[in-house]
Copies of this chain bind each other. A is one copy, B any other.
Amino acid sequence: MTSHMHQAAPTQFVEASSIRFAYRRFGKAGGVPLVFNMHFMGTMDHWDPAVTDAFAKDREVILFDNAGVSSSSGEVPETFAQMGANAMAFIKALGLKQIDALGFSIGGLVAQEITLQAPDLVRRLILVGTGPRSGESMDTGTPEGKEIFGATYANPDDLWLRVHFTPSDASQAAGREFVKRFRLRSTNRDPEVSQAAALAQRAAIGRWGAKRDHAWDYLKTIKQPVLVVNGSNDVIIYTINSYILQQNLPNAQLIIYPDSAHGSLFQYPQLFVRHVSMFLDQDQ
């Protein structure tokens, strides 16, 4: 067990494919590490310590900035295939032979690409608040998402109260706790994602979401056990996309939480970590 956890883990660097990748690694070493893939406009600091530290008690946790994001060098490519290839290069540069991959939102698209491109590298896959290629409203983005990301906020962090949580009192209260938690780390925070990086991510989302024939056939080739998780009312990547993932993946379990949105893992961190831990450790 490394002594530092989420708040104190130093940002380290490793070079691969001419990119200097920033990462943090903590928790109980010795098993299959859990590699976290971040959402749109997110850095390592946008993960919830209530999630990462709870996992770190039983397994090694690896957070990283993909190419062109925050503390990592390089540029954000305009395809998820290339983001997956970059992530793979990072993982291999750490000398890892096998990982469990957790992807949240567009991190879920990266995690799918890693699994498709390097099936032997990924033992199990967790897809949270995400969707398949040509998923429902993933080409244009949802109208709610455009409104939420297009608005201005007196406190910039309040953006995430609307992205990740429902308007209910209970969900907003959980959201305010989450915002406090992800601000707890006071030193060596990641810089915010640049405008150019966000635009490239957006372009990649449009390509991923573009309508195509037999769009979901590729999911049949993902043989790993997959856990798909979402909130009941995700308005960023509609919840039905999680159902579509489950129905088209050959070996997927789906969990949908009540009165929750895109960031269900931050609303129910204890429950989420228990469900995911059961999935990662299960033998039936």
Contacts and interface: CB of A to CB of B under 8 A. Distances in A.
| Copies of this chain assembled into the complex | 2
A258 interface: yes
Contacts of A278: 271, 274-275
Interface stretch (A130-138, A197-205, A242-250): A242-250
Nearest to A240: B243
A251 B258 contact: yes
A225 interface: yes
B255 A255 contact: yes
Interface in A238-284: 239-240, 243, 246-247, 249-259, 268, 270-271, 274-275, 278, 282, 284
A232 interface: yes
Contact of A232 (B252, B256, B271): B252
A258 B279 CA distance: 12
A239 B254 CA distance: 12
B258 A256 contact: no
Interface residues of A, number: 26
A253 B256 contact: yes
A273 to B, nearest CB: 11
A26 to B, nearest CB: 24
Name the prevailing secondary structure of the A interface residues.
mixed
A235 to B, nearest CB: 13
A43 to B, nearest CB: 27
Interface string A70-113: 00000000000000000000000000000000000000000000
Contact of A253 (B239, B243, B253, B257): B257
Given A268-B284, A284-B270, A252 B247 contact: no
A34 B258 CA distance: 22
A256 B250 contact: no
Given A271-B284, A274-B278, A250 B259 contact: yes
Interface string A56-82: 000000000000000000000000000
Given A239-B247, A251-B258, A274-B278, 5 more contacts: A246-B256, A250-B258, A254-B255, A271-B284, A275-B278
30 contacts: A225-B258, A232-B246, A232-B247, A239-B247, A240-B243, A243-B243, A243-B256, A246-B256, A246-B258, A249-B258, A250-B258, A251-B258, A251-B259, A252-B258, A253-B255, A253-B256, A253-B257, A253-B258, A254-B254, A254-B255, A254-B256, A255-B255, A268-B284, A270-B284, A271-B278, A271-B282, A271-B284, A274-B278, A275-B275, A275-B278
